[in-house]
């Protein structure tokens, strides 16, 4: 057979087993001869090595199973509808839109999966989740936002790969903006209010809120434990215990709290507990201390609460600056990715044009040998038209990129001006608290 059909590839496989096994291979899979499994693996590897992904109707596109199913469904619907003419283009467009939605859904799932895994690695202690710092601030180590940044980089890399499979088409110019759409699903900021860089929605907000809730619960336990320990030491109050000793113990309580408290709510909880009825009751308990003056202690406590409020404002001011810079970086990365995708599309257009030119030259050579002048002229006209269309697509891609960068610059300028106004307001408020 091989001598008769020399271009046919042949692959011999050993017999998997005896007749009883061959009668029901599925039921006797464990009894298949090892040599057969080894050879079958080599055969499968050989087949897969020569396969190529099916190409779509657009330049550089590849078809997935979901898209094939959608195209078939749309085509069958058109065939069964007497008022509709089956059109491959409309079926293709429907499959691309499905693929776009699927990519976004998959990337959101990937983000949530990686965020959950990374957070649990840091926060899971036994069966309990402890809080983590929201931002690095003055501390070192892992923070929630550093995890978010790392996960976003990973997901963006995968998203860019998926966008590359979609190819380019005049009717699907929104493919590059999938990056911006994804960013909006993950982080939604309030661009209408005065605090335009506040995270108000998206997948990230859930992780921020969960961590803040854990931080509040954890910090309240830390403060209660430290205050209870101090109360126990002062019950009863020692005879030699003075007002100065009390001041030192309260300072030590705050210091210990700030060392043990974890997460973004540590300052909020400290201020709230310092102004709470628990501290009022504690000072009532301290009235018998030598030299203790309740009014002076309450005035001092009020002043300390104002200082805590000022420190919170400084923290919020720093977070405002950081989030403003993060928003700017996010947009710059997105535009850079879109620019790279446009460059890739242009390269695919050029490659496609080169391949078509080679085919055209081969056909022209064959027609010339066959002395078919009329067909040669028709081929030349068709080739010229195809080259013009490719050139128009390239120019359109360049114009699209220019318009997108221009719009991005306009938006970033507006956001930057708004952020600067927000920062000035926050700085003014912080100064007022200190005065």
pLDDT average, residue stretch 392-401: 68
pLDDT at residue 256 tops 60: yes
> What percentage of the chain has pLDDT greater than the value 70?
71
pLDDT average, residue stretch 390-408: 69
CB 421: neighbour CB atoms within 10 A? 12
Q: What is the predicted pLDDT for the residue at 28?
A: 80
Question: Which residue bears the tokens 């490719």?
Answer: 390
pLDDT average, residue stretch 58-68: 57
Which band of pLDDT confidence, cut at 50, 70 and 90, is reported for residue 247? very high
pLDDT at residue 225 tops 50: yes
Q: Whole-model pTM above 0.85? A: no
- Which two tokens mark 323? 């989030």
Rounded distance between C-alpha atoms, residue 309 and residue 294, angstroms? 22
Q: What is the predicted pLDDT for the residue at 264?
A: 94
Q: Backbone phi, then psi, for 168, in 5-degree steps? A: -130, 140
For every residue of 80-128, DSSP letters joined together read H-TT----HHHHHHHHHHHHHHHHHHHHHHHHHHHHHHHHHHHHEETTE
Q: What is the predicted pLDDT for the residue at 18?
A: 84
pLDDT average, residue stretch 186-214: 80
- Weakest-pLDDT range from 103-107, 147-151, 190-194, 244-248: 190-194
Q: Can you list the alpha helix ranges (DSSP code H) found in 239-372? A: 243-260, 266-274, 277-285, 294-369
Q: What is the predicted pLDDT for the residue at 222?
A: 97
pLDDT at residue 118 tops 80: yes
Contact in structure between 273 and 254 (CB atoms under 8 Å) = no
199: phi > 0 → left, psi -120 to 50 → alpha, else beta; which?
beta
Residue, of 6 and 340, whose pLDDT is higher: 340
pLDDT at residue 389 tops 90: no
Question: Which residue bears the tokens 């336990």?
Answer: 221
Contact in structure between 130 and 214 (CB atoms under 8 Å) = yes
Domain segments of the chain as ranges: 19-49, 65-166
Crossing angle of the two packed helices 203-233 and 266-274, in degrees rounded to 10? 40
Q: What is the predicted pLDDT for the residue at 174?
A: 58
pLDDT digits (tens, 9 = 90+) for 307-354: 898 888 888 878 877 877 887 888 788 778 877 877 776 777 677 777
Residue, of 114 and 389, whose pLDDT is higher: 114
pLDDT at residue 56 tops 60: no
Q: What is the predicted pLDDT for the residue at 35?
A: 86
pLDDT at residue 194 tops 50: no
Label the pairing between strands 128-129 and 199-201.
unpaired
**Residue 400, Cα to own-chain centre: how many angstroms?**
24
Stated as kind and residue range, the H or E segment containing 233 is helix 203-233
Which band of pLDDT confidence, cut at 50, 70 and 90, is reported for residue 266? very high
Which band of pLDDT confidence, cut at 50, 70 and 90, is reported for residue 196? very low
- Weakest-pLDDT range from 82-86, 202-206, 230-234, 243-247: 82-86
Residue, of 426 and 46, whose pLDDT is higher: 46
Contact in structure between 404 and 338 (CB atoms under 8 Å) = yes
Q: What is the predicted pLDDT for the residue at 318?
A: 81
């Amino acid at each position: 057979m091989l001598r008769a059909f020399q271009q046919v590839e042949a692959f011999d496989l050993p017999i998997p087993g005896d007749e009883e096994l061959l009668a029901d291979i599925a039921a006797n899979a464990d009894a298949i001869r090892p040599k057969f499994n080894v050879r079958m693996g080599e055969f499968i590897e050989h087949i897969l090595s020569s396969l190529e992904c099916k190409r779509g109707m657009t330049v550089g596109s590849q078809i997935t199973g979901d898209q094939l199913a959608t195209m078939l469904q749309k085509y069958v619907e058109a065939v069964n509808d007497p008022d509709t003419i089956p059109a491959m283009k409309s079926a293709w467009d429907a499959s691309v839109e499905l693929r776009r939605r699927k990519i976004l859904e998959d990337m959101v799932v990937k983000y949530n999966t990686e965020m959950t895994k990374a957070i649990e690695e840091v926060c899971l202690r036994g069966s309990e989740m402890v809080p983590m710092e929201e931002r690095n601030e003055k501390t070192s180590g892992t923070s929630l936002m550093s995890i978010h940044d790392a996960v976003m980089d990973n997901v963006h890399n995968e998203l860019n790969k998926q966008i590359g499979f979609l190819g380019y088409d005049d009717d699907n110019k929104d493919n590059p903006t999938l990056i911006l759409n994804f960013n909006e699903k993950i982080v939604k900021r309030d661009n209408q209010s005065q605090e335009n860089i506040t995270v108000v929605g998206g997948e990230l907000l859930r992780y921020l809120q969960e961590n803040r809730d854990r931080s509040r619960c954890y910090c309240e336990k830390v403060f209660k434990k430290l205050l209870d320990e101090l109360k126990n030491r002062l019950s009863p109050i020692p005879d030699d215990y003075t007002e100065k000793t009390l001041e030192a113990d309260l300072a030590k309580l705050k210091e210990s709290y700030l060392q043990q408290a974890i997460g973004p709510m540590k300052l909020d909880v400290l201020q709230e507990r310092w102004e709470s009825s628990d501290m009022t009751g504690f000072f009532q308990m301290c009235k018998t201390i030598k030299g203790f003056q309740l009014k002076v202690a309450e005035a001092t406590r009020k002043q300390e609460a104002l200082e805590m409020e000022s420190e919170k404002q400084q923290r919020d001011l720093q977070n405002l600056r950081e989030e403003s810079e993060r928003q700017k970086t996010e947009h710059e990365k997105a535009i850079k990715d879109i620019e790279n995708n446009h460059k890739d599309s242009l390269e695919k257009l050029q490659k496609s044009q080169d391949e078509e030119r080679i085919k055209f030259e081969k056909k022209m050579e064959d027609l010339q040998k066959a002395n078919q002048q009329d067909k040669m002229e028709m081929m030349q006209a068709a080739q010229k038209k195809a080259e013009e269309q490719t050139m128009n697509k390239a120019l359109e891609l360049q114009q699209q990129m220019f318009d997108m960068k221009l719009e991005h610059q306009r938006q970033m300028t507006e956001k930057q001006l708004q952020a600067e106004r927000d920062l000035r307001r926050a700085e003014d408020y912080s100064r007022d608290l200190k005065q």
